Structure 1
């Protein structure tokens, strides 16, 4: 692995911690981008990377995104992310999770972890046996904050899509609006179900074609092959799978008015936001629209840390601010002729003391 500070995605990160535990087979990267507002908070991704450099790239990009996400959500948390470099068989053992928990504990509270791709609520419970700096744990009681953050991420994205439809299409409802949803897992599936209740016309795709087909049948939607969704004529494209999907080639083939989804780091490179903007496609900055999950996780963690109770209602109140923040970004973009992603980045950088 090359020196992390020479990577194009290194952004003056405070800590890049490489963890190796031979007994358990753990190889992980924990990146802290900023702790200006509080401990770096962000989930742990468990993924097989044929080239470990891609894992480093993910850790750097995702941790920076978490700094911006937490700041824009008004949370007293910094930005961090962990990536566990899984083997090809994606072997996950109690010993590996314990070693990872020890690594988090070794950072002394500077990093707070939770679920991300490949990591479950049960995995976080296992990690919590080795460190208190963990969230996304089962809710302690009915109506309490806690548990899988995925459904809360979906709620924020759903509300953000409705805001985008109002701003770009001038419609107060998604009834009959054609929305193409890429990814039908916990988040994408949740978004699709919420949109279906409002009468949206849905087309779904997933690398697991059977999962997309099953959800399409449940919702009365249409399923297409994974390689078709990005070029499908639609009103809204909602990417809810992995990131870096928007580059020169893919943007040129888009046939949509809006891109609004929960995938992290959708822009392959920073300048691709302008490419979208120049095409007249409204973009919802991903770290703003997908903040529902971290809002849930942070609310849970801060309440437990401070010995107070926090309810789901508080989480929903914070998530309700997502459309307002997006509208602020789009309005400034309209006024200044600046792409929304640039407007959002500048706002976030001011908040974390890097403006």
Structure 2
């Protein structure tokens, strides 16, 4: 994520005294993203990622850290939070909560093909099933209540047609959340931000191998269908138009459903949940673009992209779940 807080080599050396991870070799800031401060941390024992949390509180963080720990212990390829000599996995640096996690191998694929989509879909389904035994509950903090609070803040920046669209979809989602169909959807810990740059691959483009899922700091309890919708709205689209590329979409959904079959209620809810996933990121990108926080390296995404995706989801046939 963006570097909001500067960490020096001396800071890192002091931090490492709380662990048994060896001595500092190198420290390098990661400039992509907009939410936390991240550094690649190399020690004499391995490769890690150091994260300082700029928004999430010390009270909220155990959910994310322990979820990753739980999934890693269940064999899901995710970063493993490192445990300090005091037995804890969270600490502080520059008066901010922080953690060190293992660095996964591989890199993200900016233009994934159907094989990448199939691997990502299968792994997400496995993660959902593994998360069923995770005991800490925390809502998706960028869910419906956050949309309801944030949309009034971004409305002054929108044109009349945009404002009508965003308010209409919010009203529809609010009503749908009270429906029997929504309440019957499978629900549990979800990544909620599984974009293509949050998945790492080894191997070749033609024969990729799963490296793992990263950046769980938007995770929360939500419908698993929302997690799927967030992913396919990024992985399986033409970036210029927001329209689905059907070979990728079929590969993703079929691989997911082979591990965790979709329910009848999920098949009914799919068109609406796809719009919910597009709305969530249109709102957050509007907020980050028009009401940004100060940062050393901050590159907010263009919010018009998810406006296009949302409009496309309202026009297309939603492509039924397998």
Q: TM-score, normalised by structure 1?
A: 0.25
Q: TM-score, normalised by structure 2?
A: 0.27
Higher relative contact order (CA 8 A, sep 6+): 2
